């Protein structure tokens, strides 16, 4: 939601109820993002809330009980509107969306250390991991709440090179899904179109053949263990949010990633509903099964992965 970020934030105290939150947003006295300063946007919010009164009231009621609501709205100003449009995956109903949003912020607050939670809810996010490449190049993995990717989930992991160029992004939500504690991946983005493919190639070479997206998957699997979750699910080509009725025409041709092939390459299995179930951890090939001339490269690769896993584990330890 590019139209709702980068704006001065209200100094009002946190609303004490869902009704107070609704009135503050509808009147513009609480304007957590640029769009909320636009009367037309607020009218649209009111009309859509009236069209879905019970679920919207429950969402706003849950949000008003969040002790960090004002902090959350600074980085996710579109959160009060989540029920008014498709979110996370095409087969996520409105009630499931309501429950998932409540689950996510409760789980993040309950299981993450305060310093990490504050960093996640800051405008710049927080660095989880710093990796050193083959020729001492630094790379980083950052956790943030990215409002530009809010259709795909509530939290984003970003892989950056030494110039802070974004090479990959993975967006997810923590929730109860079909009765199981779940980390649900709603999107995986590569580098922006203006970033030369050479950046990806150089990063992959520096990381001993590990692609940026592959490293983000390792990071999110390790992060999932901090909660912990019973399953990791991910959208497919058919269930990505851009396949929903609302975005199908508008985003036609914008879904460039081949989710199905990528998840299958990681051992993912497609479910009857179209989403993929991923392993909780990535298996590693034993050294004795690796050709002797490649073993030194694999040792360096595994050492890099061990460093990533250790740093995520340390960052999430309470």
177-209 pLDDT, tens digit each: 999 999 999 999 999 889 999 999 999 999 999
Partners of 155 in the beta sheet?
172
pLDDT at 292 over 60: yes
Torsion angle (degrees, nearest 10) of CA 188, 3, 154, 123: 100
Give pLDDT, residue 231: 98
Give the whole-angstrom CA distance, residue 40 versus residue 175.
32
Helix axes 212-224, 197-206, angle to 10 degrees: 60
Confidence bin at 7 (pLDDT 50/70/90): very low
Give pLDDT, residue 288: 87
CATH code for the structural domain at 114-316 = 3.40.630
Give the whole-angstrom CA distance, residue 305 versus residue 208.
10
Find, among 185, 188, 162, 187, the residue nearest to 175 by Cα: 185
Q: Identify which has the larger pLDDT, 303 or 248.
A: 303
Confidence bin at 6 (pLDDT 50/70/90): very low
68-81 pLDDT, tens digit each: 999 999 999 999 99
Give the whole-angstrom CA distance, residue 138 versus residue 196.
19
107-148 pLDDT, tens digit each: 999 999 999 999 999 999 999 999 999 989 999 999 999 999
205-256 pLDDT, tens digit each: 999 999 999 999 999 999 999 999 999 999 999 999 999 888 876 666 566 6
Percentage of the residues of the chain whose pLDDT score is greater than 90: 86
Give pLDDT, residue 257: 76
Structural domain boundaries of the chain? 2-84, 114-316
Give the whole-angstrom CA distance, residue 289 versus residue 287.
5
DSSP code of 9? P
């Amino acid at each position: 939601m590019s139209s709702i970020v980068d704006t001065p934030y209200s100094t009002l105290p946190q609303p004490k109820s869902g009704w107070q939150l609704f009135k503050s947003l509808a009147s513009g006295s609480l304007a957590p993002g640029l769009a909320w300063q636009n009367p037309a946007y607020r009218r649209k919010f009111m009309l859509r809330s009236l069209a879905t009164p019970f679920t919207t009231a429950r969402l706003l009621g849950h949000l008003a009980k969040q002790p960090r609501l004002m902090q959350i709205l600074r980085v996710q100003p579109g959160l009060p509107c989540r029920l008014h449009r498709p979110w996370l995956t095409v087969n996520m109903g409105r009630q499931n969306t309501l429950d998932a949003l409540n689950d996510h912020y409760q789980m993040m607050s309950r299981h993450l250390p305060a310093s990490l939670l504050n960093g996640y809810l800051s405008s710049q996010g927080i660095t989880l991991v710093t990796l050193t490449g083959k020729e001492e190049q630094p790379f980083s993995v950052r956790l943030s709440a990215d409002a530009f990717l809010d259709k795909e989930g509530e939290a984003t992991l970003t892989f950056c090179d030494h110039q802070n160029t974004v090479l990959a992004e993975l967006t997810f939500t923590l929730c109860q899904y079909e009765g199981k504690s779940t980390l649900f991946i709603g999107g995986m983005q590569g580098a922006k179109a203006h970033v030369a493919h050479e950046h990806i190639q150089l990063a992959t070479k520096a990381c001993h053949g590990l692609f940026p997206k592959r490293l983000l998957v390792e990071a999110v699997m390790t992060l999932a263990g901090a909660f912990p979750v019973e399953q990791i699910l991910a959208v497919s080509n058919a269930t990505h949010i851009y396949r929903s009725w609302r975005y199908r025409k508008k985003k036609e041709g914008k879904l460039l990633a081949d989710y199905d092939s990528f998840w299958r390459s990681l051992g993912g299995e497609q479910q009857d509903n179209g989403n993929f179930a991923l392993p909780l951890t990535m298996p590693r090939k034993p050294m004795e099964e690796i050709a002797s001339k490649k073993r030194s490269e694999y040792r360096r690769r595994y050492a890099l992965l061990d460093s990533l896993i250790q740093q995520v584990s340390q960052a999430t330890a309470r």
